[in-house]
Every structure is written in structure tokens, then in C-alpha cells.
């Protein structure tokens, strides 16, 4: 347990309020002597407790008064005997001691109740603070996710707006397992980089992967395999110096050296 966790464990309050065991008190005093943070937490709580005691007044329970009067042999409505100011020697010492004990008992009872109340409020504040920190962490994480998505959308938009991009639309073919499939290749005519946008492709089985091919001089050339993605997202694949068309097939996971003809989904010619 680190120092901060030790301070937040409630040992500071237990020690100051006299609720800690002998072992806990000895350990706490050693921690105060060797760690300034623990000593500062103790001083802070003692000061806080003193300020609260001065600000708030706690009425003792009604039944406590009856209990005290009963113990000193008085009725509830009786008045304590007057003590002559000029003859202090006439005041019974035992009676005076009873009144002092009664007053001490009232103060002790009120102090215990107040201390327990303050301890509960302190623990409640710690719990609420932890909940607030957790909520702030979750909000920060959500903001980071949104920021990442925004940056991705801005990058994608810059690809679409780039005048050097040749756009190759690849519609589904009649013999495709899913004729309504659609994908688009964005091919940078200067850097020869290839970016793929999945418009509509069915989600493949876990042991399958889609593979993009470039038709170069009538022969298929591997441009790369890619995993299925939902939503608008560009996938960067291999560079292609030249191409007459692009096509996508569904191959075994890891890709194939040559395309499977009956597993072709879309194909599109390069124009311009």
C-alpha cells in the first residue's frame, strides 16, 4: 500500500478520534515520524475537526440528562443546590465532584456523537471524490476516442479531395457470391499509393480474408489482404506502379498467390 492509499484508508480519522487499536496507533505514529505526508494529513484533520467543533453545537440526547440526574440522586425537575459564594467550605466536596462528573459525561457523550458524525461525513466525501475522479477519467477517454475519429475523418477527407487521386469504382459482378457488393480504389497517380474504401461487402468467415488485386498487363498482381471493416474507413495497401483494373476476391486467411476466380466479388477498370 502506498502512502496515499494509507492516508485514505481511514487510519488518520481513527487515530485522532481514539478508535484505533494499540497496534494501529503505534504503526501510525511511526508513519508520522517517517512520512511528512502522513503527519500533514493528521494535522489537517485535527484542525478541521477543531474548526467543526467550534462552528457546530451538538445537543446531548434528552435521555442522557435523566441518566445523569439519576446517577447523582436528583429528580429530573430538581434544581442543583446553590453554593454560597461567601462560604465555600460549606459545599460538600462529594456533591461538587458529582456535578463535575455529570458535566464531563455530557461533554463526552456529545463529543463522541459529533466525532462519529464527522468521520462518516469524511468517508462519504472520500467516496464521492473517487466517483468524481472515475467519471472524469471516463469522459477523458471518450473525448480521446472522438478526437481520434475526427482526425481519421479529416485524413480520409484529404484523400478524397486530393486532385492526384484516380478513383476506380468496383461494382459487384453477376457471378459474385454477393452481386450487390461495392468497393472503391483511390490510387495516387504520383506516389502510386493505393487506398481502399469498402462501400459494401459481406462480413467473411473467421478463416477468410479479402484480397485486392491489380490487373497489370493482363495478369493479377497482389496488392494486399485486409480485414473487414464497417463504416467509412480507408485502408492503405501496397503501392502499384501501373494497373489496368482492380478486383477483390475472398481467399483463405493469409491470402493466396493467385486469385480464386469463383470467389471474385468486385472488379473495376482504371479510366483516364
Whole-number average pLDDT of the chain: 79
> Domain ranges in the chain?
3-138, 165-269
Dihedral of the alpha carbons of 189, 236, 218, 210, in degrees to the nearest 10 = -160
* CATH class for the region spanning 165-269: mainly beta
Check residues 149 and 270 and name the one with the higher pLDDT.
Answer: 270
Q: What is the pLDDT of residues 75-114, one digit of tens each?
A: 555 555 554 444 444 444 444 444 455 556 566 666 777 7
CA atoms of 174 and 179, how far apart (whole Å): 6
- The pLDDT > 70 percentage for the chain reads 71
Residue with cell 503505534: 26
CB atoms closer than 10 angstroms to residue 6: 18
Structure confidence by residue, pLDDT tens digits, 152-187: 556 666 666 788 889 999 999 999 999 999 999 999
Computed from CA positions of residues 132, 136, 141, 142, in that sequence, does the dihedral angle turn out positive or negative?
Answer: positive
> Which pLDDT score, from 0 to 100, does residue 40 have?
93
Amino acid at each position: 500500500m502506498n502512502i496515499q492509499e494509507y492516508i485514505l484508508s481511514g487510519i488518520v480519522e481513527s487515530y485522532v478520534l481514539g478508535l484505533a487499536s494499540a497496534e494501529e496507533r503505534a504503526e501510525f505514529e511511526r508513519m508520522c515520524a517517517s512520512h511528512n505526508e502522513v503527519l500533514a494529513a493528521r494535522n489537517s484533520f485535527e484542525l478541521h475537526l477543531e474548526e467543526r467543533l467550534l462552528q457546530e453545537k451538538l445537543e446531548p440526547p434528552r435521555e442522557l440528562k435523566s441518566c445523569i440526574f439519576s446517577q447523582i440522586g436528583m429528580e429530573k425537575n430538581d434544581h442543583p443546590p446553590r453554593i454560597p459564594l461567601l462560604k465555600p467550605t460549606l459545599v460538600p466536596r462529594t456533591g461538587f465532584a458529582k456535578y463535575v462528573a455529570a458535566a464531563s459525561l455530557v461533554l463526552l457523550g456529545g463529543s463522541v456523537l459529533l466525532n462519529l458524525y464527522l468521520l462518516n461525513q469524511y468517508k462519504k466525501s472520500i467516496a464521492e471524490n473517487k466517483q468524481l475522479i472515475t467519471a472524469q477519467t471516463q469522459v477523458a477517454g471518450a473525448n480521446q476516442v472522438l478526437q481520434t475519429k475526427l482526425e481519421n475523418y479529416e485524413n480520409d477527407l484529404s484523400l478524397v479531395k486530393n486532385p492526384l487521386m484516380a478513383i476506380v469504382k468496383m461494382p459487384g459482378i453477376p457471378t459474385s457470391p454477393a452481386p450487390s457488393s461495392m468497393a472503391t480504389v483511390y490510387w495516387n497517380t504520383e506516389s502510386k499509393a493505393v487506398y481502399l474504401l469498402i462501400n459494401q461487402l459481406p462480413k467473411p468467415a473467421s478463416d477468410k480474408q479479402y484480397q485486392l488485386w491489380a490487373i497489370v498487363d493482363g495478369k493479377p498482381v497482389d496488392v494486399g489482404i485486409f480485414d473487414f471493416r464497417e463504416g467509412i474507413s480507408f485502408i492503405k495497401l501496397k503501392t502499384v506502379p501501373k494497373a489496368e483494373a482492380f478486383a477483390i476476391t475472398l481467399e483463405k486467411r493469409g491470402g493466396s498467390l493467385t486469385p480464386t476466380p469463383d470467389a471474385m466479388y468486385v472488379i473495376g477498370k482504371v479510366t483516364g
